[in-house]
Chains A and B, each alone.
Chain A
Amino acid sequence: MSATDTQAGANSLRSGPDGRGRFGIFGGRFVAETLMPLLLELDAAYTAAQADPEFHRELDYYLKDYVGRPSPLWLARRMTEQLGGARIYMKREELNHTGSHKLNNVMGQILLARRMGRTRIVAETGAGQHGVATATVCALFGMKCAIYMGATDVERQKPNVFRMRLLGAEVVPVTAGAGTLKDAMNEAMRDWVTNVHDTYFLVGTVAGPHPYPQMVRDFQSIIGVETKEQIMEAEGRLPDAIVAAIGGGSNAMGIFHPFLDDPEVKLIGVEAAGCGLDSGRTAASIERGRPGVLHGNRTYLLQDEDGQITEAHSISAGLDYPGVGPEHSWLSDIGRAEYVGATDQEALDAFQLCTRTEGIIPALESAHAIAYAAKLAPTMGRDQIIVINISGRGDKDIFTVAEHLGVKL
């Protein structure tokens, strides 16, 4: 099994993107000219790495002995009993080193950056999971590291900020805009455009200009590849549904992708509905946005009539992004995956349900997936199977949860 297993025939849903980096009308490379030569170079370097067995050997080694793969597929017995329907399995990405799926991608990209001779890494982060993962591999390989984080998020994710600084990264608070993930993304792009000679931009999700959506997806596909093997071993068949949370969408794309050509498996992405899909305070880009261009790609975006990007809202700092990965936009348009919303409150309830029934404290991001699965499971038969992607652990979120529960820590 390879971490970048993307073998697919021409008629496969897994064969995208096309030569221009597009999934249908989505994706592409909408960046300033300064960055175009770099993206073309990155594309060539990634293609070469993909074809190089040595790259895969190196990546597999780090994934096994440093990240801690494969991650288990856990049968959540008590939650299954309590909900009274489909058997629920959890893909335990929260058990990875640094506590989330983010390290799968970051490990792949840092090895690529090293091959390209880059010495400095910039990245953007929302909740801090991607920032911590990036700071971790920079420490591991002795690379300089700058992490851009919205000032609002720096405030609400203090433990992760401290972790990044301990790891030797420079954390740069971004005050432009609302000081959240989209503004951090803008600022990381500005840094990259300024320091192109030695800097690698390590994107944390399946968005941004081509080849990032493809590359991040390939590195995250290890989640789905393992899930497929593990569920075959446990149940002798594929699951009926896979449920994963969507901000930019990297954990969801990682678990979905190896199943795209298995039509019997329903793929369900759960966006952060925030205060409700129609409340005006939401992060549900596919359900309440329309196609547009931001951060280097065409995708579903929360925007006003004039094409100005609007602020997203979610209780989870990792999900409040006004866009989504272009491949998700395409999967939604062609109907291969279904996209639904879970509100802040539903996520909080699911957070507690998972904690009390399984002894697993999930990230608030993952709690959105759990919230929808908890609605779905009772409508299904006891012989049916749901897999939830537990993308990260919730230690970082206990302050947010405590505040909502009226507890002072």
Chain B
Amino acid sequence: MSRIARRFATLRAQGRGALIPYVEACDPDYDTALAILRGMPAAGADLIEVGVPFSDPSADGPTIQKAALRGLKGGSTMKRVLEMVRAFREGDDETPIILMGYTNPIEAYGAERFCTDAKAAGVDGLIVVDMPPEEADLLAGPAAASGLDIIRLVAPTTPDERLPVVFNGASGFVYYVSITGVTGTRTASTNELAQALPRLRKATDLPIAIGFGIRTPELAANAVSVADAAVVASALLNTLEGSLDADGKATATTVPAVLDQLRGLADAVHAVSKTT
């Protein structure tokens, strides 16, 4: 059983939902990003998304765009991202790590080599934002061969008849993009989520995570009350950005500020009882 499946099984047995925080590799530098990543499980992260910086993140809002540019300035390359995951694995063999990024850096690295190296580094799953199922053949074979989960995105615009296409080849969990829009902007209403989730449950047995626009402990708790996990990215990146000095360098408050906020989100998520 993969780390991701194992983690969701444990959570289900405990009647809890999951919090999935996001950290951008090398934002604003390698050591700071690694310190945040290493501190996340103790602060309440159940799974972790690691952003792979890309120069042109066209599906992301201003917050993640800026984080990606800081990451690139901070020396991020695909090699360095995998190095960061490997360093994390030295102290944590349980928390699933999902890489989130765009197609081109993977293609530049070489899809097969990427999957082999990512698995060896301790990566469990991949979210490739601009790779819909119709274009997934580049990664499908190598990912399956390496035992990496391909996490598929579903959007409010995805019609029911398309769901089988989207879930074909999906594993790990399903990422529900709860709004039509870019990351970190609008928030889906409780009503919108309540309508969307049964539609997805009918089409898949995989756990469902909700992302885009979850900014507060209340919104995170609300998301896990209907889904299995909540993804929080822009809110944490905003906190990180706010802690940097005038030159964009990390300060003594950077790591604690992000982890404190994460703790608040995790407490709210874990207070939701999911007994069925």
Contacts and interface: CB of A to CB of B under 8 A. Distances in A.
Given A182-B56, A308-B55, A30 B131 contact: yes
A305 B131 CA distance: 21
A80 to B, nearest CB: 44
Interface stretch (B157-165, B191-199, B218-226, B261-269): B157-165
B168 to A, nearest CB: 13
Contact of A193 (B159, B162, B182): B182
Decide if the interface of chain B is mainly helix, strand, loop or mixed: loop
A197 interface: yes
B100 to A, nearest CB: 12
B140 interface: no
Interface stretch (B9-17, B105-113, B203-211): B105-113
Contact of B56 (A35, A193, A195, A294): A294
B134 interface: yes
Contact of A307 (B107, B153, B159, B162): B107
A33 B159 contact: no
Interface in B33-83: 54-59, 61-62, 65, 72, 77-78
B134 A196 contact: no
Given A37-B159, A196-B180, A186 B56 contact: yes
B131 to A, nearest CB: 6
B59 A32 contact: yes
B154 interface: yes
A141 B189 CA distance: 35
Contact of B130 (A177, A194, A293): A293
Contacts of B130: 30-32, 293, 296
Interface residues of A, number: 37
Nearest to A185: B58
A361 interface: no
B132 A31 contact: yes
Contacts of B153: 32-33
Contacts of A38: 157
A32 B158 CA distance: 11
A36 B59 CA distance: 13
Interface in B154-192: 154-159, 162, 166, 177, 180-182, 185-186
Contact of B108 (A193, A194, A305): A305
A275 interface: no
A177 B58 CA distance: 12
A303 B59 contact: no
A34 interface: yes
A189 interface: yes
Contacts of B62: 176
A33 B177 contact: yes
Contacts of B157: 33-38, 196
B103 A30 contact: yes
A306 interface: yes
A20 interface: yes
Nearest to B161: A37
B132 A309 contact: no
Given A32-B129, A190-B61, A196-B157, A309 B104 contact: yes
Contacts of A185: 58
A176 B56 CA distance: 10
Interface string A238-271: 0000000000000000000000000000000000
B135 interface: yes
Most chain A CB within 10 A, of B56, B152, B177, is at B56
Given A190-B61, A196-B180, A309-B56, A20 B134 contact: yes
Contacts of B55: 177, 308-310
A307 B155 contact: no
A393 interface: no
A190 B59 contact: yes
A80 B63 CA distance: 55
A176 B158 CA distance: 29
Nearest to A189: B58
A281 B76 CA distance: 23
Contacts of A186: 56-58
A196 B59 CA distance: 13
A105 B56 CA distance: 26
Contacts of A193: 59, 180-182
14 contacts: A32-B58, A33-B157, A34-B155, A36-B132, A36-B157, A37-B155, A189-B59, A190-B59, A190-B182, A193-B59, A293-B107, A301-B104, A306-B77, A309-B56
Given A186-B56, A308-B104, 15 more contacts: A29-B134, A31-B130, A32-B129, A32-B177, A33-B152, A34-B157, A37-B157, A37-B158, A190-B61, A194-B180, A194-B181, A196-B180, A295-B58, A301-B104, A308-B105
Interface of B: 54-59, 61-62, 65, 72, 77-78, 102-109, 129-132, 134-135, 152-159, 162, 166, 177, 180-182, 185-186
Interface of A: 20, 28-38, 176-177, 182, 185-186, 189-190, 193-197, 292-296, 301, 303, 305-310
